[in-house]
């Protein structure tokens, strides 16, 4: 069960990093004004650290309290399922040091990422642009829309004929390539075609399709992480179906990850 727990923790930390990145990148104008006023990078880094730390100072105690209040429900579920008794508020002795280490690691890396954003971004770009990591130079082999559509539908057919969970996971990865292609290439092409052919005389349709296309591009990474998480955890549930304890932990992890990704 440890790899499953680590996986959920990594996803939770990733959600915090994404939220932090969104928060800081939207403060570009404020940051650039502070830099133009003569502040050093280290002073700016400390200023951002104080802001992020203040937010976490409110969020972390709330999260700890809510998490602790959920412990009886989780323990009750395990007790009912596996027919054993124990303390409802039982927590392992390793819980608190492990939680402290994870939170300290998170605060440290959020601070370093924020400082890195300030170092690599010019004042002009922070004022006028929304900074994103440029991956335009990293181009792989070009795949046509038809290939992505095939990769999307073929796994659905193959699922009917395979019997073991390893094959499910292998086939699902091909399905993920198909889904990513549909979201990144096929759907935008369809939207642009629809805009040119059917929406030029309908301003509401034209604008709504434009916003939809923009939203898809913004959340593309989150969608892929969400899909990969669901495939991986679903396959673990299937693979461990004869180990009810592990299977239930995987199911609870699946629910947790889907909630986290939806909120993010």
Task: Tell me which of 22 and 186 has the higher pLDDT.
Answer: 186
- Contact between 54 and 147 (Cβ < 8 Å): no
- Tell me which residue of 124, 131, 114, 105 sits closest to 44, measured CA to CA: 114
- 231 within 8 A of 165, measured Cβ to Cβ: no
137: Cα within 13 Å, side-chain hemisphere: 2
Question: What pLDDT band is residue 138 in, cutting at 50, 70 and 90?
Answer: very low
Q: For the segment 153-178, what is each residue's pLDDT rounded down to a tens digit? A: 888 888 888 877 677 778 888 888 88
CA 222, CA 113: separation in Å to the nearest integer?
19
- What pLDDT digit, counting tens, does each position of 83-134 carry? 778 888 888 888 888 888 888 888 888 878 877 777 766 655 555 555 444 4
Asked if the model's pLDDT at residue 183 lies above 70, the reply is yes
Mean pLDDT of the chain, nearest integer: 80
Q: State the pLDDT at residue 121.
A: 63
Q: What backbone torsions phi and psi does residue 240 show, to the nearest 5 degrees?
A: -105, 25
Q: Rounded to the nearest 5 degrees, what angle is found at the Cα of 59, between the Cα atoms of 107 and 98?
A: 55
For residue 78, what pLDDT is reported? Answer: 81
pTM of the model: 0.65
Domain locations along the chain: 1-136
More confident residue, 239 or 121: 239
More confident residue, 74 or 141: 74
CA distance 99 to 13: 12
Asked if residue 57 has pLDDT above 80, the reply is yes
- 41 pLDDT more than 80: no
């Amino acid at each position: 069960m440890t790899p499953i727990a680590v996986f959920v923790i990594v996803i939770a930390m990733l959600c915090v990093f994404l939220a932090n990145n969104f928060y800081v990148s939207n403060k570009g104008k404020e940051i650039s004004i502070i830099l133009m006023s003569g502040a050093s990078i280290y002073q700016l880094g400390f200023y951002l650290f104080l802001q992020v730390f203040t937010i976490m100072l409110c969020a972390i105690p709330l999260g700890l309290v809510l998490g602790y209040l959920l412990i009886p429900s989780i323990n009750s579920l395990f007790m009912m399922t596996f027919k054993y008794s124990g303390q409802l508020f039982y927590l392992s002795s390793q819980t608190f040091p492990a939680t402290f280490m994870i939170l300290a690691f998170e605060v440290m890396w959020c601070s370093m990422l924020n400082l890195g954003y300030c170092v690599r971004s010019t004042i002009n770009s922070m004022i006028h642009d929304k900074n994103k990591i440029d991956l335009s130079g990293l181009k792989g082999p070009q795949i046509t829309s038809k290939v992505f559509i095939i990769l999307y539908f073929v796994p659905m057919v193959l699922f009917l004929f395979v019997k073991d969970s390893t094959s499910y996971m292998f086939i699902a990865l091909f399905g993920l390539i198909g889904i990513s292609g549909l979201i990144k290439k096929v759907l935008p092409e369809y939207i642009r075609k629809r805009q040119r052919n059917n929406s030029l005389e309908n301003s509401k349709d034209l604008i709504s399709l434009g916003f939809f296309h923009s939203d898809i591009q913004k959340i593309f990474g989150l969608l892929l992480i969400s899909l990969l998480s669901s495939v991986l955890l679903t396959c673990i549930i299937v693979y461990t179906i004869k180990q009810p304890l592990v299977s239930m932990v995987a199911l609870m992890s699946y629910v947790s990850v889907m909630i986290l990704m939806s909120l993010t």
